[in-house]
Chains A and B, each alone.
Chain A
């Protein structure tokens, strides 16, 4: 569960976003995929869809549960990871890389400030573990 990438920003609902210029790549964290177990289905957002920060962009189903996923920041969906349609377990195998879910054009970069950096997120995840 260690080793969340340091350049990424993180949400309390365990999505990550990697930002390059105005573009953000979004996925689920290693902690999220570990909690979910084997992922069996990913519902991808429509390309072109306008998302608000915190809006449900899709659903991830695993052998344990179906979970809503939330947009870390607002923006327009510019690309989705089509490989997840046939290989949903990419999220299990490489959550922070090949298992990315979609890309968006960020509407308001200031929203990124409300997200956690890697140190804060690592602490947050450790606290979640203690609650269990």
Chain B
């Protein structure tokens, strides 16, 4: 029996065929009206090299097939609009719909990047003010809105590091990265041509200062740091870290992934960072994951500002203009002006929250995380027992040792209770860890419900370990073979021949 012969899934249940599998030869969604201009054969307009020899293999479906297919898919999905999504270091906060209203305004949605400056003064004004806001929030001198996401911001920042050092006649080849860092940090450094050197964490979860002193050498371009780090801990030695790095001629890069913890409280530029990126799609409530694209603006102190990508937006008191004449700039890192409409959404968020509101976002995010951390610590091992910032790490080592139930199993079991699982097995320095980031948008009732379910799963691990080890049980598909998927990826649908 083929998939098409089985009954269609009930809403929110079962699996859904690929749209290619719904295809029926000749079926179409629309009958177009006859042309009201002369029809010319396509081969009279294009050379043979530009023409297909056979039609593209697109699914042939009706409008209702398309609508039902994607509606059913949406019903078996999980997202922030469906439920709690405590994915650590991802800041899956709710994205207010007013952001979408702003981005849909025709003056923003309808502009083309090739429009002359005179007719897009409003769009440029928004970019100009957005830069000012991010400068204020990050404690930096200027910001480029061009990078398309966080890792792209990292690459941009490292290219600026290189340009800065080479400008001073120095060829530095290494970048230091803590062992708790996001995986994108070493990846970006390698893409930029740097060799990476790992800096160990100390027993409190911060940068090991002695190790940093030992590793900081004349061939080190700088240190990449997330603060608070991926353990959700704010490094209290920030000033000492900055001093050690700067004294050896190195620079400090701020990975803004965890900036939801610090808005209006601490500014990276004030704590010694030279280049800073922001994740608009995390901290500033624009969609990410499947709902992207992202946006990763990069800010710099006065000293590093000349190396920022071009163009920047300047204002001469009368009109806004795009400025390309910045001779030390690393150049463009993306076409045009970045993901403009994402910037519009983040701008709408900043304007609707205001400075006090943004500070409260961070305070509430930190409060929610500490509340949940204490609740979970009643049932799970808490490796760093101190106040956390916007996220925290607990470990499933007790459950693994006593009952043979791994963190992966418990994460899968959470799906049965309607929650997205937290990040698991990251950061790498904590075995069997869950990394939980509740964000400020969740109510106490939601946090309590999640804590109750986690306690219940810990109990299940004790009483019925096999139930947890085989989870999930209620999702459209059961436990997937992740190892097989990685070893023998099968990512392209092909028709049966």
Which A residues lie at the B interface, using CB under 8 A?
35, 37-41, 61, 63-66, 88-89, 128-129, 131-132
Contact = CB atoms under 8 A, between A and B. Distances in A.
B432 A41 contact: no
B486 A63 contact: yes
B300 to A, nearest CB: 31
A40 B487 contact: yes
B486 A132 contact: no
Contact of A132 (B183, B426, B431): B431
Contact of B430 (A39, A65, A132): A132
B486 A40 contact: yes
Contacts of A41: 486-487
Contacts of B426: 65
A89 B470 CA distance: 21
Contacts of A89: 483, 487
Interface string B418-451: 0000000110101110000000000000000000
Contacts of B381: 132
Interface in B363-409: 381, 383, 395, 397, 401, 408
B57 interface: no
Contacts of B432: 132
A65 B425 contact: yes
A129 B425 contact: no
A85 to B, nearest CB: 11
A129 B397 contact: yes
B395 A132 contact: yes
A65 B428 contact: yes
A89 to B, nearest CB: 7
Contact of B486 (A35, A61, A131): A61
Contacts of A66: 183
Nearest to A39: B483
A128 B383 CA distance: 13
12 contacts: A37-B408, A40-B486, A41-B487, A63-B482, A65-B426, A88-B487, A128-B431, A129-B397, A129-B431, A131-B383, A132-B395, A132-B432
Interface string B456-497: 000000000000000000000000001100110000000000
A50 B115 CA distance: 58
A66 to B, nearest CB: 8
A128 B401 CA distance: 13
Contacts of A65: 425-426, 428
B425 A64 contact: yes
Nearest to B395: A132
Contacts of A38: 482-483, 486
A35 B397 CA distance: 11
Contact of B431 (A35, A40, A61, A63): A35
A51 to B, nearest CB: 17
Contacts of A88: 487
A35 B430 CA distance: 10
Interface string B134-175: 000000000000000000000000000000000000000000
Contacts of A37: 408, 425
Nearest to B433: A132
A63 to B, nearest CB: 5
Contacts of A64: 425
Ordered nearest first, which 5 A-B pairs have the shortest CB separation?
A38-B483, A40-B486, A132-B431, A64-B425, A132-B397
A129 B483 CA distance: 25
B406 to A, nearest CB: 8
Nearest to A65: B428
Contacts of A39: 483
A110 to B, nearest CB: 25
Contacts of A40: 483, 486-487
B483 A132 contact: no
- Residue among A40, A65, A128 having the largest count of chain B Cβ atoms under 10 Å: A40
B483 to A, nearest CB: 3
Given A63-B482, A64-B425, 20 more contacts: A37-B425, A38-B482, A38-B486, A40-B483, A41-B486, A41-B487, A61-B486, A88-B487, A89-B483, A89-B487, A129-B397, A129-B401, A129-B431, A132-B381, A132-B383, A132-B395, A132-B397, A132-B430, A132-B431, A132-B432
A11 to B, nearest CB: 16
A103 to B, nearest CB: 24
Contact of B483 (A35, A63, A128, A131): A63
A38 B406 CA distance: 13
A40 B489 CA distance: 11
A129 B183 CA distance: 23
Give the most central of A63, A66, A128, A129: most B CB within 10 Å: A63
B380 to A, nearest CB: 12
A65 B430 CA distance: 13
Contacts of B428: 65
Interface in B268-323: none
Contacts of B383: 131-132
A89 B430 CA distance: 23
Contacts of A35: 431
Contacts of B425: 37, 64-65
B216 to A, nearest CB: 20
A38 B486 CA distance: 10
A26 B395 CA distance: 31
Nearest to A87: B487
Contacts of B487: 40-41, 88-89
A65 B383 CA distance: 20
A127 to B, nearest CB: 13
A37 B401 CA distance: 15
B185 to A, nearest CB: 14
